[in-house]
Structures are given as structure tokens and as C-alpha cells.
Amino acid sequence: MPARLFLSSGDLVADRRYEFARDLQLKGDLAAAADLLAQAIELAPGFASAWFTLGEIRQQLGERDAAIAAFRSARDADADDRHGARVWLMRLGAEGLSDMPPAYVRTLFDQYAPKFEAALVDDLGYRGPSLLFKAVLAARRAVRKPAFFKRAIDLGCGTGLAAAAFAREVDHFTGIDLSPRMIEQARSTGLYAELEVTDMLTGLRGKPGASAELILAADAMVYVADLVPVLKEARRVLVSGGLLAFTVETHGGDDVILGEGLRYAHGEPYVRAALQSAGLALSQLETLSARNEDNTPVPGLVVVAAKP
């Protein structure tokens, strides 16, 4: 687990009440923790971390309306919503699904960066890059073309695990990620010719048309609700015959949901429709899990599509 975000209220006493409340929350004394947080908020009404923690506790206590009210206050108290209160509002059904606040994703992964690979690969058995690699090789074999790519773009590149999997097949890798700390780790691998700290859609929009043979997104679309804008932009950036390969988490339904782990899960019919509406031709779609949760494989899809 990454370190927890704490935004000081600027009031020493309110901050102390918050710290005590967190201790109590961790020990399971939720009612006492909620009382202390209410006191902290009385002292500092714009205390985003206290509102957010109160939202979590109300939610843990099954008090949905009170949780929603607290998460709304947390979101209003921090214009960037670094805690991701809006993500919880989506999860609780108080708001429709939309993309995650960029500052939340950035904060989450900045905090994750130092232990990311150990947490994901060792603890969660992460295998997204190797699944993508096999799927891309199969897609190339199917059209009798060599799996060699002059220019590739890695969306949500993180620390660089996907570039490592494709290192021998790609000449020039560009990595795009929202998190500067993840990008620092990616830079230290020496695998990327270019790295950009930005949102994947913005990053793609900055690329000339027909300028990449391969676009990858390993375990990154799980933070994107609506895939269509990214897929359309990927189509524009790919050369004809170029490939887009990505993993998603999935579920039995048709559309997009926000799962328990606060990542989006895209139904297979949604993924197929999104590819079609972006003008990409499906080459491979396999039901494969890229990671475990509680030692159980999380349902997932590995998708490769081509620009016609």
C-alpha cells in the first residue's frame, strides 16, 4: 500500500485530532475516530484529509448518505481532489462515471513509485507486459509480419515494465505517464528515448499522425472510464497496419463499472464497441488476468487492435 496522503489543515490542534482519529480508525474504533474527526473539522472546516477520512469511516459503518456528504466536502475542500473523493462518490453511485481526477492518479502513483514493482510484481503477480508481448507477437504472426517496431508509445508507462518486455522489438520508445515519480523510475531504466509527464490523451494529441507502429497500455486503461477518445487518438497516431495493445479489467456486464478496487472494469461488449467506434480492427481479444487480488486472478482482457 502506498503512503497515505495527508494535507495539513494549518491548525495544529485539528491536525493532532486527525492523527488520533487515524490511530483509532486503524485499531477499528470507528465511532470514536468519527467523533475526533468531527472535532477536527469544527476547528478547521476546510480540512480535506479529515473530511475524506470521515467519508471512509461513514462508508465502513454502512452510513451511505453521511459518507457521500463527507466525500463531497472533501472534494470541495481540495479543488484538485488529490484524495480522490470523487472516485468514492462514483463508487457510491452519487455521481456518474467519469475520468478520475488527474491529481488523484498522480498523487497515488507518486506515492507508489518507490515500491511499485515490488508491490505489483511480487505481491500481486503482475503479468500485464508479458501478456501484451505474447498477444502482439500472435497478432503479427497472424498477418505474417515481423514483430519489429521502429517507434512505440507506452501509455501509462509507470516504471517501464512494458518497455522492458518489448525492449528487443522496439527501436524508439516514448513513455507517457501522469506521475513524475513513476517517470523518474522509467528514466532510470534507460529504455525510453523520450518520456512525458502528462495525461495519455494529451500526450497522444501532441503526436503527429501516422508516427508510431505500436502503442501499448499495460494496466493503465483501468484508470480511464471512457476508452473511446484515447482509442480514436491512438488510431490517428498509428501508421496503417500499426497495433494498439492494452489490458483492461473486466466484468460480466456490457458496459463500464468502477470496481471495488477503485479501478474501472470494462465489459467485453463495451471494448468491442469502443474499438469499432474508433475505427480500429480487432486482431486479438483474450480473457486473461494481468494480476491477482487476494491471491485470486482479477478478470481481465488482453486486446490487440490494428489500424486498417
Ligand X SMILES: C[S@@+](CC[C@H](N)C(=O)[O-])C[C@H]1O[C@@H](n2cnc3c(N)ncnc32)[C@H](O)[C@@H]1O
Q: Which is nearer to ligand X, 78 or 219 (CB)?
A: 219
Site for ligand X contains 204 (CB under 6 A): no
C-beta separation of 186 from 160 below 8 A? yes
The C-alpha cell 486473461 sits at 288
Q: Which stretch binds ligand X (CB under 6 A): 2-10, 37-45, 156-164, 276-284?
A: 156-164
Among 18, 51, 104, 109, binds ligand X (CB under 6 A): 109
Query: Are 49 and 77 within 8 A, CB to CB?
Result: no
Q: How far is CA 48 from CA 6, 40, 166, in A?
A: 9, 11, 42
Binding of residue 156 to ligand X (CB under 6 A): yes
Does 274 engage in binding with ligand X (CB under 6 A)? no
- Does position 220 interact with ligand X (CB under 6 A)? The reply is yes
Q: Does position 178 bind ligand X by CB under 6 A?
A: yes
From the list 9-17, 25-33, 188-196, 217-225, the region that binds ligand X by CB under 6 A is 217-225
Q: Is 105 in the site for ligand X (CB under 6 A)?
A: yes
- By beta-carbon proximity to ligand X, the closer residue of 55 and 128 is 128
Task: Measure Cα distances from 51 to 64, 97, 230 in Å.
Answer: 14, 22, 33
Least distance to ligand X from the beta carbon of 59, Å? 24
- Which amino acid, one-letter code, is at 126? Y
CB of 105 to ligand X, least distance (A): 5
User: Closer to ligand X at the Cβ: 198 or 211?
Assistant: 198
Burial class (CB in 10 A: 0-12, 13-18, 19+), 6: middle
Return the H-helix or E-strand segment holding 240: strand 238-249
The string of DSSP codes covering 248-299 is EE--SSSSEEE-TTS-EEE-HHHHHHHHHHHT-EEEEEEE--S-EETTEEPP
CA distance 260 to 136: 30
Regarding 177 and contact with ligand X (CB under 6 A), the answer is yes
Which of residues 24, 36, 161, 227 is near ligand X by CB under 6 A? 161
Contacts with ligand X in 28-87 (CB under 6 A)? none
Q: Is 128 in the site for ligand X (CB under 6 A)?
A: yes
According to the binding rule CB under 6 A, does residue 199 interact with ligand X? yes
Interacting residue ranges for ligand X, rule: CB under 6 A: 105, 109, 128-129, 156-158, 161-162, 176-179, 182, 199-200, 218-220, 223-224
